[in-house]
Amino acid sequence: MTKLENFIQEDTILPFQLEHSDIRGRVGRLNETLISILSQHSYPDIVETLVAEAVLITALVGQTINLKWKLSLQIRGNGPIKLIATDYFAPDKKTGPGRIRAFASFDEKNLNHDEKKPFNELGKGYFAVLIDQGPKTDPYQGITPLTGGSLHKCAETYFAQSEQLPTRFSITVGKSNKTNQKNIWKAGGIIVQKMPKSAQSSTEVIQENQNILLSAADLLDKDENEDWNRVNFHIDTVDELELTGPYVTQKQLLVKLFHEEKPRAFEPRSIEFGCTCSPKKVKNTMSMYSSKDIEKMTTEEGVVTADCQFCGKHFIMDPSELGFDAENND
């Protein structure tokens, strides 16, 4: 736990708690990390905007749970933007950085580059959260429809529906304009969550509303709702430059928005780009293919190639390493 002194932190997630409201949250900013992720690809701006939003959501959510290995988002739609996938890996050490990566799949020919709301290019589909705590554990998956007009609204619905946690995001992504410098991507945001008083009351709400999508208001009693509305009112006053910085630090932003709520900040957690692909993992993935499939994948030079969708790393493999014997398949 730290005092609310001033300091600039970029590519970090700052945990905090609002003592007066019994609300927890995170303030997040991504700069170099976001640039590193997007530079692995060559996406149109409209796709990069959604990827940047998904990356920040993933980083914020990854810091709110007791994650031992990996948190993933999978956003699939039937529109021109088909898929956005992100992975957040928990720090190897208690004080180490979290690692994050992302990629997107889209139909360039049908993409509307003039669409003012990139979310619309997803069409209908789903927003999925996957949590994998590592070996000897069962992965968890929660799914909600693409709804609300933005990815962070989908995330709010997911938390209300699947976790029974009233959740609010405020997120902004975009390119900064600096004189004589190339425009660079920046992202900043806040997540706040009100912990329910009892799991039983939340379960009753779910049972009573099985056929509708829940919101934060459905999970709060009168007193809790008053605290929640007050905190949300303060969040509504934040502007984009305050979220992304750098003129207002993360801790200064907490004080500006929530000074009446008695904000308490904890140690910030750093985030960086990181991909876990390796020759061994690629070979394990390729092992699911049959000998006929491997034969079709083999180039005229007698090798099999594969590219990592996240970082673009190129792998070249001998078919025999994948269990394919060319001599016995003549």
Whether 306 is covered by a domain: the verdict is: yes
**Number of domains the chain is built from:** 2
Three-state SS letters, the chain:
CCCCCCCCCCCEEEEEEECCCCEEEEEEEECHHHHHHHCCCCCCHHHHHHHHHHHHHHHHHHCCCCCCCEEEEEEEECCCEEEEEEEEECCCCCCCCEEEEEEEEECHHHCCCCCCCHHHHHCCEEEEEEEECCCCCCCEEEEEECCCCCHHHHHHHHHHHHHCCCEEEEEEEEEECCCCCCCEEEEEEEEEEECCCCHHHHHHHHHHCCCCCCCHHHHCCHHHHHHHHHHHHHHCCCCHHHHHCCCCCHHHHHHHHHHHHCEEECCCEEEEECCCCCHHHHHHHHCCCCHHHHHHHCCCCCCEEEECCCCCCEEEECHHHHCCCCHHHC
**Distance between CA atoms of residues 242 and 252, nearest Å:** 9
**7 found inside a domain:** no
Same domain, yes or no: 244 and 292: no
105 lies in the same domain as 189:
yes
Are 317 and 286 spatial neighbours (Cβ–Cβ below 8 Å)?
yes
Segments of the chain with pLDDT less than 70: 1-9, 177-183, 196-212, 214-217, 323-330
Residue 116 placed within a domain: yes
Query: Are the C-beta atoms of residues 313 and 275 closer than 8 Å to each other?
Result: yes
39 lies in some domain: yes
Judgement on whether residues 123 and 251 belong to the same structural domain of the protein: yes
Residue 110 inside a domain? The answer is yes
Distance separating alpha carbons of residues 125 and 74, to the nearest angstrom: 11
Residues 202 and 297 in one domain: no
Question: Which pLDDT does position 1 carry in this prediction?
Answer: 37
Task: Tell me the pairing of strands 184-194 and 167-176.
Answer: antiparallel
Q: Is residue 4 part of a domain?
A: no
- Verify that 28 and 158 share a domain, yes or no: yes
Q: For the purposes of burial, counting CB atoms within 10 Å of the CB of 241, is it exposed (0-12), middle (13-18) or buried (19 or more)?
A: middle
- For the stretch 61-76, pLDDT in tens is 998 888 888 999 999 9
Which residues, including other chains, have CB under 8 Å from residue 176's CB and lie 6 or more apart?
A: 183, 184, 185, 186, 244
Residues 92 and 20 placed together within one structural domain of the fold: yes
Same structural domain, 37 and 134:
yes
85/28 same-domain check: yes
Question: CA 100 from chain center: how many Å?
Answer: 8
CATH of the domain at 50: 3.55.30.10
Which domain does 291 fall in, by range?
279-329
Query: Which of 273, 289, 318 is at the close of a domain?
Result: 273
Model pTM score: 0.86
Whether residue 50 is contained in a domain is answered as yes
Last residue of one domain, picked from the residues 257, 273, 289: 273
Query: Is residue 228 domain-shared with residue 98, that is, in the same domain?
Result: yes
Please, what sign has the CA dihedral across residues 62, 67, 72, 73? negative
pLDDT at position 180:
53
Count Cα neighbours of 329 within 13 Å in the Cβ-side half-sphere. 14
Do 295 and 165 have their domain in common?
Answer: no
The Cα 170–Cα 162 span in angstroms is: 20
Q: What is the CATH number of the domain that holds 302?
A: 3.90.1280.10
Whether residue 304 sits in one domain with residue 214? no
Token readout for 179 is: 């004189």
Residue 135 domain-assigned?
yes
For the record, the structure tokens of 231 come out as 């905190």
What confidence score (pLDDT) does residue 323 get? 65
Other beta carbons within 10 angstroms of residue 188's beta carbon come to 27
Same domain? 185 vs 314: no
pLDDT score for 175: 84
